[in-house]
């Protein structure tokens, strides 16, 4: 069951970038990037109250703020801005560095020093991503590349901090409390970027936005953390290695993006570095 829940979580995560591209056809990028958290925060508040979760002590506020800045604001907003100018399959290759980057922040927060071999694989994986960006972007690093790398860094920081808080509060509770914390800050920003006429938005754009709000920002964490609990972090965490390939496949099916051999080649190289780096 751990692998089943873990695979379900990876499947939900893998459709995030294609769903973002669909939502961006008619919605403002800021509304797509931050509006999903407003919807998820409303659901989180209902869940926390109905299950009578104890209010976290104020001393944990900075930790929850890091989770909110990284996983709820940083990654969604930066990845959405990147999806304006590049394909979802392209983003999948760069986002493939996320497990390795999360491990780095995990080492840092735990006060541990990664092995030399780990750093070699990390450098190799990063080098492949830079090479992929340079060769795919006419020899230059674009804003989309910087936004995607920023999304990786912010999400990694949020995930690592969230893993530490989960020892005290539980896994899904951490995500829900972080969403509720970010809600008062995000709501006025989202309202400013609300479409002038919601009635003119097509059903496809709404479906993309609702997928991001209900699945990518809320339900996925229940499946993913449940999978880690039942199947073990190391074992189930390896399923993340399939995520870029699933995103490339979803992009071809949902968006009609071409499945290029070079994209698969770089994705394979990055994931090999991630897999070997995590083993060390």
Q: What is the pLDDT of residue 204?
A: 94
- Mean pLDDT for the chain? 86
21 pLDDT higher than 90: yes
pLDDT confidence bin for 232, thresholds 50/70/90: low
Task: Give the pLDDT confidence of 240-260 residue by residue, as tens digits.
Answer: 778 888 888 899 999 998 888
> What is the tens place of the pLDDT at every residue in 32-53?
999 999 999 999 999 999 999 9
Q: pTM score, two decimals?
A: 0.88
Rounded average pLDDT over 70-86: 93
91: nearest Cα among 208, 273, 278, 250: 250
Residue 237 pLDDT level (bands cut at 50, 70, 90):
low
Sign of the CA dihedral running 147, 5, 179, 107: negative
Mean pLDDT of 231-241: 67
């Amino acid at each position: 069951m751990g692998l089943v829940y873990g695979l379900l979580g990876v499947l939900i995560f893998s459709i995030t970038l294609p769903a973002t591209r669909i939502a961006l056809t008619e919605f403002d990028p800021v509304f797509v990037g931050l509006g999903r958290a407003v919807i998820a925060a409303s659901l989180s508040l209902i869940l926390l109250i109905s299950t009578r979760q104890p209010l976290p002590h104020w001393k944990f506020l900075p930790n929850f703020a890091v989770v909110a800045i990284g996983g709820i604001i940083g990654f969604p907003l930066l990845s959405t801005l990147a999806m304006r100018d590049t394909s979802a399959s392209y983003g999948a290759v760069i986002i493939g560095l996320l497990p390795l980057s999360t491990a780095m922040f995990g080492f840092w927060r735990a006060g541990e020093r990664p092995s030399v071999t780990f750093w070699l694989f990390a450098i190799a994986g990063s080098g492949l991503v830079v090479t992929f960006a340079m060769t795919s972007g006419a020899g230059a690093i674009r804003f989309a590349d910087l936004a995607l790398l920023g999304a990786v860094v912010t999400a990694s920081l949020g995930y690592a901090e969230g893993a530490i808080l989960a020892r005290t509060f539980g896994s899904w509770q951490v995500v829900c409390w972080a969403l509720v914390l970010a809600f008062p800050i995000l709501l006025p920003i989202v309202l400013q970027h609300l479409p002038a006429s919601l009635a003119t938005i097509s059903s496809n754009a709404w479906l993309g936005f609702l997928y991001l709000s209900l699945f990518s920002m809320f339900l996925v964490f229940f499946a993913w953390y449940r999978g880690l609990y039942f199947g073990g972090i190391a074992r189930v965490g390896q399923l993340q290695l399939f995520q870029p390939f699933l995103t490339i496949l979803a992009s071809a099916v949902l968006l009609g993006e071409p499945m290029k051999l070079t994209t698969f080649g770089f994705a394979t190289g990055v994931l090999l570095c991630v897999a070997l780096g995590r083993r060390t």
